[in-house]
Chains A and B, each alone.
Chain A
Amino acid sequence: MIFWATDSFSSENLLKRFRNSEYLRFLHCSFNMYSFNAAPMFPYRLRLLLIFLSFLLVHTVAKSQAFTIYDSLPQLQERVKQNGENTTLVINFWATWCKPCVEELPSFDELSRRYAGQNVRVLLISLDFKSKLKTGFIPFLQTHKLKSEVILFADQDANTWIPSIHEAWDGAIPATIVLRGSTKMFHTGKFENYDELETFVQPFLGVIDAPAPESVLSKN
């Protein structure tokens, strides 16, 4: 399910914005206009609905950041599988409450920007709690405006899913896994800067068709 990171999920909130908006003035104008017509183009209710829908669309597209919520490991695994054999996936596990994680996010965005169109995808998988979606996660996305794909992973059974992500990982974040096909590389802790991240991912970048170097296979 795709969610939009706007703060306008609640109806009161929407209504408040609606009242204060330009749209209301627009609405008034259209009412005045229509009042001179004997037969308006759309019935009153439909007209209201259309205006409301257009408002919602413009509002969300202008102010939002999409993210997906996965509740269980199979959903996440399915997403990973979608990438196919020749795409390098850079998966970063983070959370809004984790300071080093937040500090390294710009490096990951920079990586997605520089390698856009080169079979490299960055997945930023947040371990934030679903119960703090409105108070923590969505406001964070609104201020930080991340460019990479964002996933909220809400599977609470960490003891089960952590080792399936990588055997060497015991759950401390930040943690980063780079994978292509069956080749994986794991890193725990923060990348101090973009160069450090790029160096780590380097064996997977560049020539896409060639398999990754042998040494990578054994490296944890």
Chain B
Amino acid sequence: MKKLALLVTPLLISMVLLFSNSTEKSDYVVGDQAEDFSLKNVDGKLVSLSDYKNVLGYIVVFTCNHCPYAQLYEQRIMDLHKKYASRGFPLIAINPNSPAVVWEDSYEEMQKRAKAHKYGFPYLFDEDQSVYPRFGATRTPHVFLLDSARVVRYIGAIDDNAESQRDIKHHWVEDAIDAMMRGEQPTPDYTRAVGCTIKKKP
């Protein structure tokens, strides 16, 4: 019995280690290739990056209903899609929050908001919260710009002034896309901003 325990214990430990490694978030950095995902849109259909044909890149935005910062940026997110979708950069919004923590971020509430505000882009629900940790998203709103090969080219904020659009000095996402269209690497390619933490299911 003791011998068995001696044999089994390291096995168990290594399994736990293996398991914890595989579930650990990967936190993409600029230059990493993002894994494709398949998430449910507010219209009930599944959406993947590979559904898009002939695009130059993707604007992936982790955002949500309830966060006041996400709300401050909602119009700007809609404008980004309007401006860049036709130029080869469609926007894909993903709500990473667990409605068990914030009810306003439930799938039904997402549907209501997308309809009321006439989102022209998919608003996906990361229901099992598996996609946002892979990206390394930590807040809403949080933008990841990918090129056509799904390589991450920019991570960060939309611009440098949440409070007042009039006082924006840097339109980071727009500048980054423009740089990509010129075939250049965006600078900066990483920015920080105030936002709401992502609400993880307890």
Contact = CB atoms under 8 A, between A and B. Distances in A.
Interface of A: 95, 97-100, 127, 129, 131, 156-159, 162-163, 169-174, 188-190
B163 interface: yes
Contact of A158 (B66, B164, B188, B193): B193
B197 interface: yes
A157 B157 CA distance: 12
Contact of A172 (B160, B163, B198): B198
Contacts of A95: 194
B139 A172 contact: yes
B139 A171 contact: yes
Interface string B153-187: 00011001111100100000000000000000000
Main secondary structure of the interface of B (DSSP, over half): loop
Given A170-B139, A172-B138, A188-B138, A163 B163 contact: no
Nearest to B169: A157
B68 interface: yes
A156 B196 CA distance: 16
Given A163-B192, A170-B139, A171-B192, A158 B160 contact: yes
B135 to A, nearest CB: 13
Interface string B71-100: 000000000000000000000000000000
Contacts of A170: 138-139, 192
A100 B160 contact: no
